[in-house]
Amino acid sequence: MATPLAERLRPQTLDEYIGQKHLVGKDGVFTRFIEAGNVPSFILWGPPGVGKTTLAKIVANELHRPFFTLSAVTSGVKEVREVIESAKRQRFFDATTPLLFIDEIHRFNKSQQDSLLGAVEQGVVTLIGATTENPSFEVISPLLSRCQVYTLKRMSDEELEQLLQRALTTDKELSGRDVEVREREALFRFSGGDARKLLNILDIVINASDGKVVIDNESVTNALQQNIALYDKGGEQHYDVISAFIKSIRGSDPNAAIYYLARMLAGGEEPRFIARRLVISASEDIGLANPNALLLANACFDTVHKIGMPEARITLAETTIYLATSPKSNSAYMAINEALAFVGKDTANRPVPLHLRNAVTDLMSEAGYGKDYKYAHDFEGNFVEQEFMPESLAGKQFYTPNTTNPTEQKIAERIAVQWKGKYK
């Protein structure tokens, strides 16, 4: 079986590595690691196909360190302990610390991550983790505190072009073919900043032709339509499908939402990632139209953590259908965005009104802090009219109720009565 193009072109040194100049450039942290001959435990966080595994292997090669690798998809506590024991046996008086690379470390549960702690603390191994998910959510705090986190970015079109030219000119198989690149738009668009995807697509297009190969938008699109299974291998349409999933919920189509949920689960998507996106959707798209949506989404997130697959599919489906069929409002989402945009551009130093300030010292009391503040609970209906905005912003409105749903219609009516038309 032929070695895939992405593997044939895998860089062996930092000089061959394309992209991530903030990490591997002349003054990049990984350049300094290799120059110093030492490296701490770290986690590489970024989307698929941006060079996380490659960078880990380069560090091991450049530092001449023993390199152990595990996949969180197929490994458990037993495999982790076996690797750690193997690393311990290699420790001699002047031996270098082995590197332990764990791909998709976000898929390790708490007990699996706990099994790594002792070895990392004692310096038995230097841990390198790779993840497409935010480590703050998926890596336990004791382990995260012992690792530096480095963020990798999607490749730019310029970097994809550099990779394309390297493939066509340096790969032994491709350099022997007659390849003409007439258009790049579809090639780069389908790649989406993913180097592995670019090379996989290039493999598909070239292998679909005998003799001269013409790469243009039409040939790329046609080749991918005929080889969709190969193109989607390993769930590489992760970002496209999750986008369609969320937009189907936003568009109140439970059938489409369930379809995309099934595609993600069948493709091996991490259930906790889906649950986290449901929590976001509940806040962003349903919001105040149905506040119970956020409660259910949070319960779904907790349940998925507790029970895992395959049973978690039921909870995810229940929550997906509930959110898709709920009334929609993005008023809270729009309100905080508008307020943040205003604050970000506002250069005025707007003092908080004196009656709202907290008089924590006698001097503050003498200066009028807290004077004339009206305690709402002392008044009928737990409301009393007073100014809460800085004086220069009196009447400024950020929140506009979405009155197409009953819940916010009531909110709008209450605001109108309480504030007597101050907020339109």
Percent of the chain scoring above 70 in pLDDT: 95
* pLDDT for position 234: 44
- CATH class, range 344-419: mainly alpha
pLDDT at 231: 39
* Beta strand segments in 225-291, E: none
Query: CA-CA distance, 91 to 114, in Å (whole number)?
Result: 22
The conformation of residue 361, written as its DSSP 8-state character, comes to S
CATH T-level fold of 238-325: Zinc Finger, Delta Prime; domain 3 (1.20.272)
- Least confident interval from 30-34, 81-85, 321-325: 81-85
Q: Name the DSSP class of 362.
A: H
Q: Is the pLDDT of residue 226 over 70?
A: no
**pLDDT at 238 (0 to 100):** 63
Q: For residue 138, what pLDDT is reported?
A: 81
pLDDT at 280: 94
Instruction: Write down the pLDDT at residue 77.
Output: 81
Buried b (16+ CB within 10 A) or exposed e, 37-56: eebebbbbbbbbbbbbbbbb
Q: What is the pLDDT of residues 231-282, one digit of tens each?
A: 343 444 666 788 889 999 999 999 999 999 998 888 777 888 899 999 999 9
Residues of the chain with CATH 1.20.272.10: 238-325
Tally helices (H) and strands (E) across the chain. Answer: 22, 7
pLDDT score at 152: 94
| DSSP state, residue 216 | -
Which residues belong to CATH 1.10.8.60 in the chain?
Answer: 157-231
pLDDT 10s digits, 51-110: 999 999 999 999 988 899 888 777 778 888 888 888 888 766 557 888 999 988 888 888
Give residue 13's Cα distance to chain centre.
27
Where do you find CATH 3.40.50.300 in the chain? 20-151
The CATH code belonging to domain 20-151 is: 3.40.50.300
Average pLDDT value for the chain:
87
Q: Is the pLDDT of residue 45 over 50?
A: yes
Domain with CATH 1.10.3710 in the chain: 344-419
Q: Which residue, among 122, 177, 180, 131, has the nearest Cα to 152 in the 3D structure?
A: 131
Per-residue pLDDT reduced to its tens digit, 350-382: 888 888 888 778 787 877 888 888 888 988 888
- Encode 124-144: b = buried (16+ Cβ within 10 Å), e = exposed: bbbbbbbbbbebeebbbeebb
- Third-level CATH fold of 157-231: Helicase, Ruva Protein; domain 3 (1.10.8)
Backbone angles phi, psi at 335, to 5 degrees: -65, -45
pLDDT at residue 393, as a whole number: 87
pLDDT of 292 over the 90 cut: yes
pLDDT at 166 over 90: yes
Determine the residue type at 324: A
The Cα-based distances of 267 to 244, 260, 270 in angstroms read 15, 10, 9
